[in-house]
Chain A
Amino acid sequence: MRSLPQIVAPYEEIDRGFDSDLQVALTIGDQAGAHRIDQKQLLNDQAYFVLCRGQLEAEIDEACRTAIVRRGAHRNWEMRRGFDFYDPNDPRLSGLPFDRRVAIVLDRNGGRGGPWATVMSYYAMRNKVAHGNLVATRIDVARVVQDLFVIQGALTR
């Protein structure tokens, strides 16, 4: 997540430029030009959203790896059991799907709007965008980044 500020800075610079261009287009009544700029902003939002969310996914993987190492090394079998199925040194964490990696570090029963549910909603949105189903909805990237830091704080290693 340390790279998030470096990712957000150019996003904001680019989007500000679009905002200014859009204002000019609206002022002179260039509706076609305004529409083109709207479309660029939508694409730019989604590209940077995928980049930012990727930072969270890397953080979740790292937290999951740490949890597996800690729990797998525990003296008490009650704490250790099951965790030796997973190899923390495997880049894919022994094939653990994303939702299960998240469930190791966040409570799946945290309720609607809780960190687990929010991570999974962002995952669903990322899948839409990354698999070609672009959305016609703006993304407040600055606000999403704040959200990602809140989730980072909730990760339990």
Chain B
Amino acid sequence: MDAQTVLEELTEDDLTVEHVRRRVDDWADRTEQFYTTVEEWLPAGWTARRGAHGIMNEELMRKVGVPARDLPTLDLLHDGMAEVNLRPYGLWIIGTNGRIKLVKGHDIYLILDYAKTFEPPNWHIAAATERQTSRPFDRGQFDALLAA
């Protein structure tokens, strides 16, 4: 049976190359789906473009020999000006099933997946200044963030 949390993955000794490879693929899929959702929610005047790729090469990947992977970032532009940047921050973070970092001006937000491994994502958002109060990331939260 697959480990259900990052904590389990990091404290169990039977992690396989196949498991880690599936997790990386799953993370790439989830971030892609997240970007697609965000693009669909963009109000008038906003556009999206894929930004520079970041390299995913986390400890568990190096440990079992899974190669590094390029993951795209996403810029959100308002009237042609880039105002928001989304970047996959990390998959293996104890307490979450992956984090995407969202930067808008000087404000930093954490997009957190609270789902168990290989389950459908359960995205939440927390301002970096108020991490204890994460909220489900839905269209209302997204609209409010863009309008702020």
Contact = CB atoms under 8 A, between A and B. Distances in A.
B11 A12 contact: no
Q: Is the interface of A mostly helix, strand, loop or mixed?
A: helix
Max chain A Cβ within 10 angstroms of own Cβ: one of B6, B10, B112:
B10
B92 interface: yes
Contact of A139 (B60, B94, B112, B116): B94
A137 B95 contact: no
A143 interface: yes
B8 interface: yes
Interface stretch (A16-24, A54-62, A82-90, A95-103): A16-24
Interface residues of A, number: 27
B47 interface: no
Given A118-B7, A125-B7, A137-B10, A19 B94 contact: no
The size class of the interface chain B forms with chain A is 20 to 34
B28 to A, nearest CB: 19
B5 to A, nearest CB: 7
A140 interface: yes
B93 interface: yes
Interface in A39-55: 49
A142 B11 contact: no
A48 B43 CA distance: 41
B135 to A, nearest CB: 13
Max chain A Cβ within 10 angstroms of own Cβ: one of B112, B126, B131:
B131
Contact of B128 (A19, A124, A128, A147): A19
A135 interface: yes
A135 B59 contact: yes
A145 B132 CA distance: 9
Given A20-B108, A112-B4, 5 more contacts: A113-B8, A118-B7, A137-B6, A140-B96, A142-B132
Interface of B: 1, 4-8, 10-11, 58-60, 90, 92-96, 99, 103, 106, 108, 112, 114, 116, 126, 128-129, 131-132, 134
- 5 smallest CB-CB distances across A and B, nearest first, come from A143-B95, A140-B95, A136-B59, A124-B11, A142-B131
5 contacts: A12-B132, A135-B59, A139-B94, A140-B94, A140-B131
